Amino acid sequence: MSDAHTESLEEFAQSLSYGKRSDLSFKFLPRLGPDVGDALASVLREVGSVFDTGDPSELIDLAIGLQADGYQSRPLTERYRYDDGPFTRPDRPVADSRVALLTSSGHFAADDDPKPLGVESMTQAEAEERITDFLKEAPTLSEVPIATSGDLLEVRHGGYDTRGSRADHNVSFPIDRMRELATDGVIGTLHETAYSFVGACAQTRLIKQTGPEWVARLKSTGSDVVLLIPV
Amino acid sequence: MATVAVYIEAFSHYAEAMHLPRTLVTHHPMGRPLGPPGSDGRQREVIEAALSLVDSAVAPGTVERMGGVYRPGAAS
């Protein structure tokens, strides 16, 4: 009798979430639970439609909808629940304001690698493999001059599919678009430094220690507005 | 210092639960909150919509869902 193991659908879904088939665009699949089979069947059905139409629009919309279903399928922990929130009214319109950018996309200047976990030139694959180590570490805030050109930027983040960010940093770290908006007068002035960190980090330390330190740092820059881009 | 955040739909429930000051939600995939690679027009549209919330929102917990879809290769 063969001892070959027939992989169950549940095991397959789990293999996409940092498993042997790690795929960060579809790591949510295990969250769909018993609906995962129907979800995959619906994706395949749309792939079949693309054969005939050549138009992937409905497939894209379906995949985005499944991501939302997956991530919203589990209740949030109390850590993320607040009865009320802060609110600062701007002193002036955005067109007259100094605006800063802060993202959790994991971008950094090529000549200023934050060397996560003490590793020199860590690859994206290693970042994915060591995601649990990242989640225990305090985040490092990378400072990137706002004038940096795309070929001098790097991105590394073990928590999301970075292919889009590699193809065009502006999908998650929009320094080119921000410069254009400043040139066109939509934004008053830009803070000369953009900030980014790896959002997959020790969350309690981010909330209680690192985050407040960064807020103080941003306030000291004289920025009126901060555009936040979580990924 | 006023803030505005851009969230994708998949994580918008975090923004709502945390009562962030201002949130713009896009129907984009994870890792591409502002739009597809090379879609300068869509990226700019999203940022302008987010910044307009700074001017228009009057209370914390303001969440606006942006129309439009994620279409790589669309004219921008």
- pLDDT one-digit tens code per residue, A58-85: 999 999 999 999 999 988 888 889 988 8
In 3D space, the residue among B30, B68, B45, B33 whose CA is nearest the CA of residue A229 turns out to be B33
Chain A residues in contact with B45 by the CB 8 A cut-off are: none
**Phi and psi, residue B26, nearest 5°:** -110, 150
Domain total of chain A:
2
Task: Say yes or no: A103 and A182 in one domain.
Answer: yes
- Chain A CB contacts of B48 under 8 Å are 181, 186
Instruction: Give yes or no for residue A225 having a pLDDT over 80.
Output: yes
**Residue type at B45 in one-letter notation:** E
pLDDT in tens, A177-194: 999 999 999 999 999 999
Contact, A135 vs B4, CB < 8 A? no
Q: pLDDT band at A1, cuts 50/70/90?
A: low
From A25, A90, A167, residue closest to B29, measured CB to CB: A25
Please report whether residue A80 resides in a domain: no
Please count the other Cβ atoms lying within 10 Å of the Cβ belonging to residue B44.
22
**Cβ–Cβ pairs < 8 A, chains A and B:** 170
A127 and A66 within one domain:
no
Which tokens belong to A101? 């950018």
pLDDT of residue A80: 86
Return the minimum-mean-pLDDT range out of A3-12, A112-121, A218-227, B14-23. A3-12
The tens-digit pLDDT sequence of chain B (76 residues) is 999 999 999 999 999 999 999 999 999 999 999 999 999 999 999 999 999 999 999 999 999 999 999 999 876 5
Task: Look at residue A83 in the predicted model and tell me its pLDDT.
Answer: 87
Rounded to a whole number of angstroms, the distance from the CA of B15 to the nearest CA of chain A is 9
Same domain assignment for residues A102 and A158: yes
* ipTM tops 0.95: yes
Which residue of B23, B30, B42 to mutate against A (max A Cβ within 10 Å)?
Answer: B30
A102's CB contacts (< 8 A; 6+ apart) are: A194, A195, A196, A214, A218, A226, A227, A228, A229
Q: Is A101 a residue whose pLDDT tops 80? A: yes
- A205 and A118 co-located in one domain: yes
Any domain includes A66: yes
Domain of A56, in residue numbers: 9-71
Contacts of A88 in chain B (CB under 8 A): 1-3, 21
Domain assignment present for A4 = no
* pLDDT on residue A2: 58
Q: Do A117 and A211 fall into the same domain? A: yes
> A219 and A105 share a domain?
yes
Is the pLDDT score of A206 beyond 70?
Answer: yes
Chain B residues whose CB is inside 8 A of the A215 CB are 1
Q: Is residue A143 part of a domain?
A: yes
Distance from CA of B52 to the nearest CA of A (A): 8
CB contacts, 8 Å: A71 with chain B: 10-11, 13
Tokens encoding A181:
């908006």
Name the residue with tokens 């303001």: B62
Q: Within a 13 Å sphere around the CA of B68, how many CA atoms are in the beta-carbon half?
A: 25
Nearest chain A alpha carbon to B68: A61
Domain co-membership, A134 together with A177: yes
Residue A4: predicted pLDDT: 80
- A135 lies in the same domain as A169: yes
- Tell me the domain boundaries of chain B: 5-65
Q: Nearest CB to A81: which of B5, B17, B60?
A: B17
A104 and A212 part of one domain: yes
Same domain, A66 and A118: no
The confidence score (pLDDT) of residue A113 equals: 98
- Residue A160 CA to residue A139 CA, distance in Å, equals 16
Question: Which of B25, B40, B54, B56 best tests the A interface by mutation, with the highest count of A CBs <10 A?
Answer: B54
**One domain, residues A123 and A39:** no
Residue B1 confidence (pLDDT) = 96
Residue-wise pLDDT for A12-35, tens only, equals 999 999 999 999 999 999 999 999
Say whether both A64 and A109 belong to one domain: no
